[in-house]
Structure 1
């Protein structure tokens, strides 16, 4: 029976090609606009560690000595050096990684390359297995390298291509600042979206979150040996007072270190929350912390939401695109209503020959669905064009944009559903016109 309805729908569409083209174009343009922005939203707000993010947490304590009588101050996005290293040294999580950022002058002594400023991520050995970082050559350092302050490094795929033409550079030497480090690993192309492990200050950025979608750092080094090389310390997120001249990282009045932990089950999560609360209470008793009750431990996805990683202009564009789709659907409703009611005579003959109202309704909906399918194909092409145009824009996430299988299927599903919704009222009206009036139109 469906084949019969489909045949009738094709004949009806071919009978009035101009009206059919108008409806298809209306659906295609609306779907193309909405799916372009929805695809951008989907890619920017997705889970960067699917299947693992529910086990990844971001502990926070509040090192600020400033008074907070109304208890409104949230912990800063990073911790002071001592708090972060104390929590890490306790080894209370399944995996844990300290993170500090710096920019250092880099050269490759045995290559004819000019010096460059490299973004360096100082971390610990658990960083790579915890975040499922892929390797092209070699591997990461071991826990004992963190303790022994071994001068080794892992470099990004882009830096390996820039310095060594993409060849296996394990065992080669880099000079960071004035110290030599040995390359022990080269990452495979890796582009987490967003750059979740180094995500701070998003809610203060007024929608300017481009850094969250930039490429990963070029050099990864053991946390301890990085401090030996970079005696100036890590980039500070904020300070509660100006550091004194010559202040070391261990006593700096700034927050500049982050800690990520992996916890395998709910019991371990509860235990770790109690642990950081007890730690803050202990440090308050020692006179080092002021706000012992101000601790947090958001999950990875909660941390992304808190930092508002999706740019505000993308959210606005998505709402505007769906509003435009709604306008296109209203136009399609009017066109379908005119099309179905003009066929009152044909529908009357079918009713007189025994067709039920439900059969007429189904026939009209099949025709509307076919229009949606054709419009979905046009919307898919317009979505590809829209994404291609966005990739030409100077935004950090431009090269991340593509239409994955999920959004490809969603394009056609949305087109068919939208056309069925648009055709529901016209189909219902066509099936409810009195039989006598329908026959009189012959």
Structure 2
């Protein structure tokens, strides 16, 4: 029966080549536009820590003065040095990490210019246990290195390839800002998208090439290279905005909690804020936030507005293409009404007519899917030519490859249902008389 339906569908498609081609092209263009934008949107808004993101939270406290205070308003995104170090010392979470962006000068014989400027991350050892980045060689440092302010570093695979030719560099000495650091780990290919742990700059940038202990960076007075919010005079302070008691927030703070611990930790932060207010450090009522990774990404509106808008436009365009395909298929079914009536008169059941029609639209969907896949690949290539950094993430993976064909088949089924229903509803005698 299926073979017979395929034979009839092929004959029908070949008899009306122009209409069949227009339906395939309309379907392919709609699918190509939709899948291009959906692929890009999925790449930009995916979960950067699959299986872990709902247990890792960004901490916010409100340490600013009463000036400009709005009850229940959003607190600053960063913590002061005193608060971050105090929370780290009290150690109330399963895991925790303080961090800040930085810049270091790297000296190495393989650097032609003598010194290369590289982005760095000053952080504590909990980052490796929380984010679980893969390692090519070695691993991260531990709390002992944090406490000892050890001069150790973890570097990216790309930097390891540049300086050590990809060889195992564990134990090698690297000069960072004129200070000797021992390499203890090399990341494997690791690029969380978006770069959730620091969205203050480019959220789609690669992770920093150099990670070092936060306590060591503070000890060496290495300057941070991120956003800083100050609400008091820091010019007279030794160390400026990053001094231990400076009225400035510049540190990011992440914790890992079990679902049952979130409420208790939130209460702990409120009590901490109340205590700081009693001590005269905080002015505002307790106002804390705990957002998990995906909530933090959503709050910061990481996906560019133009990508969201283009996605909706493309889906609307797909709907228009489907409507045009339905019109073409209806026109085609009217042309073939006499043939359908004759087959019904010769004994074909409504179910068989429906099957013949759906096989035909299935073939159209398969052809439209193949052409739509080609148009999707071309569309993604065009996107990657754009200067935006996130454009380089427009890659078709296996999941979206399969989704392209699923969308093509689903779209063709939607296109074919109405014409097939109309074809199976008419009376054979009326069709034969009309023909």
- Shorter-chain TM range is over 0.9
- For residues 146 and 116 of structure 1, the distance between their equivalents in structure 2, rounded to whole angstroms, comes to 26
Q: Which residue of 2 aligns with 1:63?
A: 63
Do the aligned residues in 1 keep the contact of 2:195 with 2:204 (CA within 8 Å)? yes
Match of 1:274 among 257, 267, 272: 267
Q: Which residue of 2 aligns with 1:203?
A: none
Does residue 221 of the first structure (1) align with residue 223 of the second (2)?
no
Match of 1:329 among 322, 329, 333: 322
Does residue 413 of the first structure (1) align with residue 406 of the second (2)?
yes
Match of 2:221 among 223, 230, 235: 230
Q: Which residue of 1 aligns with 2:331?
A: 338
- For residues 163 and 66 of structure 2, the distance between their equivalents in structure 1, rounded to whole angstroms, comes to 47
Instruction: After TM superposition, give the deviation of residue 110 of structure 1 in Å.
Output: 7.7
Q: Which residue of 1 aligns with 2:417?
A: 424
Does residue 390 of the first structure (1) align with residue 388 of the second (2)?
no
Instruction: After TM superposition, give the deviation of residue 15 of structure 1 in Å.
Output: 2.2
Match of 1:250 among 244, 255, 272: 244
Matches within 5 A, 1:98-177: 98-108=98-108, 113-177=113-177
Aligned with 1:298: secondary structure? Answer: strand
TM-score (norm 1): 0.93
Do the aligned residues in 2 keep the contact of 1:95 with 1:262 (CA within 8 Å)? yes
Aligned with 2:49: secondary structure? Answer: coil
Matches within 5 A, 1:79-94: 79-94=79-94
Shift of the 425–166 alpha-carbon distance from structure 1 to 2, 3 Å rule, reads same
Do the aligned residues in 2 keep the contact of 1:108 with 1:173 (CA within 8 Å)? no
- For residues 79 and 225 of structure 2, the distance between their equivalents in structure 1, rounded to whole angstroms, comes to 12
Do the aligned residues in 1 keep the contact of 2:27 with 2:365 (CA within 8 Å)? yes
Instruction: After TM superposition, give the deviation of residue 255 of structure 1 in Å.
Output: 1.2
Deviation readout 1:215-256 (Å, 9 max, x if unpaired): 111110001001122344563432224522433521222211
Deviation readout 1:325-353 (Å, 9 max, x if unpaired): 11211111111011111111111112112
Match of 2:360 among 363, 367, 378: 367
Aligned with 1:32: secondary structure? Answer: helix
Instruction: After TM superposition, give the deviation of residue 118 of structure 1 in Å.
Output: 1.4
- For residues 44 and 236 of structure 1, the distance between their equivalents in structure 2, rounded to whole angstroms, comes to 23
- For residues 242 and 165 of structure 1, the distance between their equivalents in structure 2, rounded to whole angstroms, comes to 48
- For residues 378 and 432 of structure 2, the distance between their equivalents in structure 1, rounded to whole angstroms, comes to 47
Shift of the 234–148 alpha-carbon distance from structure 1 to 2, 3 Å rule, reads farther
Do the aligned residues in 1 keep the contact of 2:156 with 2:209 (CA within 8 Å)? yes
Shift of the 242–104 alpha-carbon distance from structure 1 to 2, 3 Å rule, reads farther
Match of 2:340 among 328, 347, 360: 347
Instruction: After TM superposition, give the deviation of residue 270 of structure 1 in Å.
Output: 1.8
Does residue 261 of the first structure (1) align with residue 255 of the second (2)?
yes
Matches within 5 A, 1:278-293: 278-293=271-286
Deviation readout 1:378-420 (Å, 9 max, x if unpaired): 1111111111221222121233221112111111111111111
Instruction: After TM superposition, give the deviation of residue 317 of structure 1 in Å.
Output: 0.9
Q: Which residue of 2 aligns with 1:46?
A: 46
Aligned with 1:257: secondary structure? Answer: strand
Q: Which residue of 2 aligns with 1:305?
A: 298
